[in-house]
A and B are shown apart, each in its own frame.
Chain A
Amino acid sequence: MTGAGTAIWGVGTSAFGKQTSLGGPRLAWQATVEALDDAGLQASDIDAVYAGTVFGDPGTVTRCLQQIGIVEVPVITIENACASGTSAFHEARESVEIGRYERVLAFGIETMTAHFDGAISPIASDPDGAQGYAMPSIYGMSATRYKYEFGVTDEQMAEVAVKNRRHAMGNPRAQHHKTVTVEQVLGSRMVADPITLFQCCSIADAAAAAVIGPLGGSRDPRGEVTIRSSALRSGRLWDHTTDKVWGWDIVADTAAQAYEAAGVSVEDINVFEVHDAFTIGEIITTEALGICELGEGGRLVESGHTSLGGLQPVNPSGGLLSRGHPLGATGLAQIAEIAWQLRGMAADRQVPGARLGAVETMGGGTAGIDGNACVVTVLEQVG
């Protein structure tokens, strides 16, 4: 069934920030044209589009792509909460892997400022959302539990924001270009105890894209990035039988599947882009990915292991805490960052000699399940 493998041929993104006046199509053109140019393709070369968007109006994706000539092809839009962009990537990769299509655009977009002034409104049809349970409170719950169960400190959580904001100083496309201190992070206003404002990602408007095709099939195969594996799943039931915080098991289960399919172990991976929508989220995720043991995530970030210059940098782009979080675009921005890292194109934030990278995105908002969707993909430098 599977052929000789699948690769990323090109990537592109818009800038990330509050840019309401640009509107969806212009953000989409920036990201898509950059990805097509990077892959050496014309719009008419694209066989199919898999796209992720969450709050987009009906028809958003076709409206974004028609005027740059991506027409007369299947366009499939996926909603998987924060993991919508990487879900589109996963399906695009799968479609090439099984030979359904040859040159596929994975695309993600979100124009958050058109829908929200601040935090995303809770989902009124959800048992938790109907109680006013906004996203920051989900992570507030996890942070309270981690302080109680593992003694994670406010300073360790703040350190995630300090690190990722520092990383973003090398990323011209990030929304925030200002370092913060632990004191500033903890002194910012309380949002959902014990999570403060600077520990929450901002909303943003952005688009991101990747062109996927058979490994070795592009015009300049040395510029390809091998997709060693990709895994996508929904969570287990999250109920009274578990002492794990919400979202731990889904990341661990998805990562295990992705590592096994790639034939790698976590120690082999040189660089990660992970879902740090809130500081505690990165702490939980680094544990669930196996970078450290359960309960050790706070000490891990403190140790410098996940900083640029450390052994396994996490979020060299600055992560969601620095880019902001345009839900549909986030996953493909993570993919783009790892692609640039593996090609040695990440300039001031380059992880020296990175050969193997991983992306993790996790989306939630549904009560009683350990996450709507998680994607973990393992990428490798060609050659």
Chain B
Amino acid sequence: MPSLITTPPERAGADPRPELAIHEGRVLLTGSRCGDCGYPQAVNPPRCPICGSHGMVPATFGPKGTVFSSTVLRIPVPDRTPPFTLAYVDVDEGPRILAHVDGPDEALVPGSEVVLSGWSEHGDPVVRRSGP
């Protein structure tokens, strides 16, 4: 994957992708946690989808996470040049998100440890391997 960007890119209001932010030098995932049942999400809706509570509290998650699964997409999609590596990441204490992987064009093994590390040139959230 070419060029990792480490300063927050400009973001359109309707951009549906998980939103990262830099806090005290660390890249974190923004979202919310239910004040009643603790359910975490990468968005901040008015009600909790699990318990129905109105008490969703803005929260940040990460920077560490664990790979649920991964693949390398090798066919063209609009505006992107293949191949690129993708992973579903269970962010520590947080939600599962899709992210691009900074590294070789090789699927990560499920269970691999990763860290949120910035943005792709297209503004996608990016992780890289941090451990086994």
Contacts and interface: CB of A to CB of B under 8 A. Distances in A.
B110 A137 contact: no
A143 B78 CA distance: 24
A127 B16 contact: yes
Contacts of B18: 127
Interface residues on A, range: 35 or more
Contact of B110 (A149, A194, A195): A149
Given A121-B78, A136-B73, A141-B69, A193 B42 contact: no
Interface residues on B, range: 35 or more
B68 A130 contact: no
B42 A137 contact: no
A126 interface: yes
A101 interface: no
A142 B49 CA distance: 25
A149 B71 CA distance: 15
A239 B42 CA distance: 11
Contacts of B90: 240
B111 interface: yes
Contacts of B76: 118
B15 interface: yes
Contact of A126 (B16, B106, B124): B16
B69 A145 contact: yes
Contacts of A128: 98
B109 interface: yes
Interface in A139-165: 140-145, 148-149
Contacts of A137: 71, 73, 86
Nearest to A196: B74
A70 B84 CA distance: 48
Nearest to B95: A240
Given A131-B100, A191-B75, A125 B14 contact: yes
B69 A134 contact: no
A261 interface: no
Contacts of A118: 75-76
A134 B75 contact: yes
Contact of A140 (B73, B96, B97, B111): B73
A140 B95 CA distance: 21
B94 interface: yes
A239 B69 contact: no
Contacts of A127: 16-18, 42, 97-98
Contact of A131 (B49, B70, B98): B98
A383 to B, nearest CB: 47
B107 interface: yes
A365 to B, nearest CB: 13
Contact of B74 (A125, A145, A192): A192
Contacts of B78: 121-122
Interface in B27-47: 40, 42
22 contacts: A125-B16, A127-B16, A127-B17, A127-B18, A127-B98, A128-B98, A130-B17, A131-B100, A132-B84, A133-B98, A140-B71, A144-B69, A145-B110, A148-B109, A148-B110, A191-B73, A191-B74, A192-B73, A194-B107, A239-B96, A240-B90, A240-B96
Q: Top 10 closest A-B pairs, CB basis?
A: A140-B71, A145-B69, A240-B96, A141-B69, A148-B110, A193-B72, A127-B16, A240-B90, A132-B80, A137-B73
Given A190-B72, A240-B90, 7 more contacts: A119-B77, A127-B42, A127-B97, A132-B84, A140-B71, A142-B69, A240-B94
Interface of A: 118-119, 121-122, 125-134, 136-137, 140-145, 148-149, 189-195, 237-240, 243, 245, 367
